[in-house]
């Protein structure tokens, strides 16, 4: 946004409506979320000062005080989803996840607005301790999600979900994703196979298709073949 911005009538009305009860920093954030601009706190200060707009703010940003035309009404499930995923995802990524999950068409600005009003902040580090609630999920790597299970303790989400359903994963096993998507950590998409079978599975041509049942059959067949072969080699070595 330019240093000297020419404000429209709509932008002026927005500032007048919201400036009295919130700090200038939060006014700038709300303004940017609404109009897709890059206004700074000092720009809001200057604008309000030259037009003699006085703030009654005590520094608090009260949830539920502010509304906007055409605002989305969030369900309890949607609120929980945003709270769970917002800490370690960009707002762009969060709105994509939200729209995919709920079949909505929210904009990035709507998600920014929601998080700002409800004081939901992102965290830049992967281990913020007790600041992030247990159950929070974030990307622990380019192709893996992690979930917080205790203070300062994060574990791979797919392994957490698998062991919650089936018990501890055997030490010599690993988990494969039936649809090939390592971000799909639903239990139905997870299959435990021996680590020794990884090469045999990857060598097949049908372990990663659009048919998850075919993928599962391929992985199990390759794993069984590996186990049989290894047992056979062990038997011959003993004789």
Q: Dump pLDDT digits (tens) for 127-179.
A: 444 467 788 887 766 678 888 888 767 889 999 999 999 999 998 899 999 99
Task: Look at residue 60 in the predicted model and tell me its pLDDT.
Answer: 46
Beta-bridge mates of residue 156: 146
From the list 111, 66, 50, 57, the residue with the least C-alpha distance to 85 is 111
Q: Does the CA dihedral 41-46-51-52 come out positive or negative?
A: positive
**E-strand stretches of 13-157:** 137-141, 144-150, 153-156
Compute the residue count for the chain: 239
> What does each C-alpha distance from 8 to 12, 146, 153 come to in angstroms?
6, 45, 49
Query: 76-85, 95-104, 175-184: which has the minimum mean pLDDT?
Result: 76-85
pTM: 0.47
199-209 tens-digit pLDDT:
888 888 788 88
Q: How confident is the model at residue 123 (pLDDT cuts 50, 70, 90)?
A: low
Show Cβ contacts of residue 196 under 8 Å, excluding neighbours closer than 6 positions: 172, 226, 227, 230
Beta-bridge mates of residue 113: none
Alpha-carbon distance of 94 to 101, in angstroms, equals 10
Alpha-carbon distance of 37 to 30, in angstroms, equals 10
């Amino acid at each position: 946004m330019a240093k000297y911005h020419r404000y429209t009538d709509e932008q002026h009305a927005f500032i007048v409506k919201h400036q009295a009860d919130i700090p200038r920093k939060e006014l700038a954030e709300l303004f940017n979320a609404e109009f897709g601009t890059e206004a700074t706190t000092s720009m809001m200060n200057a604008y309000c000062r030259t037009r003699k707009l006085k703030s009654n703010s005590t520094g608090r940003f009260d949830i539920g005080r502010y509304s906007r035309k055409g605002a989305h009404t969030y369900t309890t499930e949607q609120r929980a989803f945003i709270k769970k995923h917002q800490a370690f995802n960009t707002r762009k990524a969060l709105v994509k996840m939200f729209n995919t999950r709920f079949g909505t068409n929210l904009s990035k600005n709507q998600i920014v607005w929601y998080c700002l009003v409800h004081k939901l902040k992102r965290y830049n580090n992967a281990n913020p301790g007790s600041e992030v609630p247990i159950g929070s999920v974030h990307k622990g790597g380019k192709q893996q999600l992690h979930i917080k299970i205790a203070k300062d303790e994060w574990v791979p989400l797919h392994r957490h979900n698998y062991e919650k359903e089936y018990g501890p994963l055997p030490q010599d096993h690993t988990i494969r994703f039936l649809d090939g998507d390592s971000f799909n950590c639903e239990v139905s998409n997870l299959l435990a196979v021996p680590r020794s079978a990884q090469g045999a599975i990857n060598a097949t041509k049908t372990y990663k298709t659009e048919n998850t049942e075919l993928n599962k059959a391929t992985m199990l067949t390759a794993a069984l073949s590996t186990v049989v072969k290894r047992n056979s080699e062990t038997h011959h070595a003993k004789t």
